[in-house]
Amino acid sequence: MNIAIGSDHAGYEQKERLKGLLAARGHAVLDLGTTSPKSTDYPPYAFKVAEAVRDGRAERGILICDSGNGIAIAANKVDGIRAAIAVNPWQAEMSRRHNDANVLVLGSALTPASDEAAILDAWLQAAFDGGRHARRVGEISEYEKTRERAPQRSRDS
């Protein structure tokens, strides 16, 4: 699988470790920066990775910043991107199974190096469940296209 990866300075070391894990698992890695732990802003890297996924240059993306919040918010501004923060393997798996997340977001301050492989593997190995989840992801996609308010659904459907 082709995977784009990016981070700000706070996620740089984790990004470098993840590149090694991805390569060891046979994935092609497109590193879109940053290239050092020198202080930098996260939005440009979020946009580069998200656009690579949107444009088909990568099948999925991975982003890292200190908390994961800022870089996820920025990536989710790109149409077609479903960037999800995962702090454990279950959350990573569910982001794929229920939300068809195409960008995994990690918080370097929240994710110990000892948990990285398990989170990464859970996200890479999980498949989208479809069904009622496809309808929900479709509602998000429709909103992106029309920018209109989605119809309200009951919580239990």
98 classed as catalytic: yes
Encoding tokens for residue 14? Answer: 């984790």
Please give the Cα distance from 98 to 30 (Å, whole number).
26
The answer to whether residues 69 and 11 touch, using CB atoms and an 8 Å cutoff, is: no
27 classed as catalytic: no
Q: Looking at the chain, how many residues does it have?
A: 157
Please give the Cα distance from 117 to 123 (Å, whole number).
10
The residue type found at 89 is P
- Which of 9, 27, 65, 133 is catalytic? The answer is 65
DSSP 68-134: SHHHHHHHTTSTT--EEE-SSHHHHHHHHHTT--SEEEEETTT--HHHHHHHHHHHHH-----THHH
Cα separations in angstroms, 50 against 55, 80, 118, 131, 148:
9, 9, 23, 25, 23
- Which of 9, 27, 98, 133 is catalytic? The answer is 98
Catalytically active residues, by annotation: 65, 98
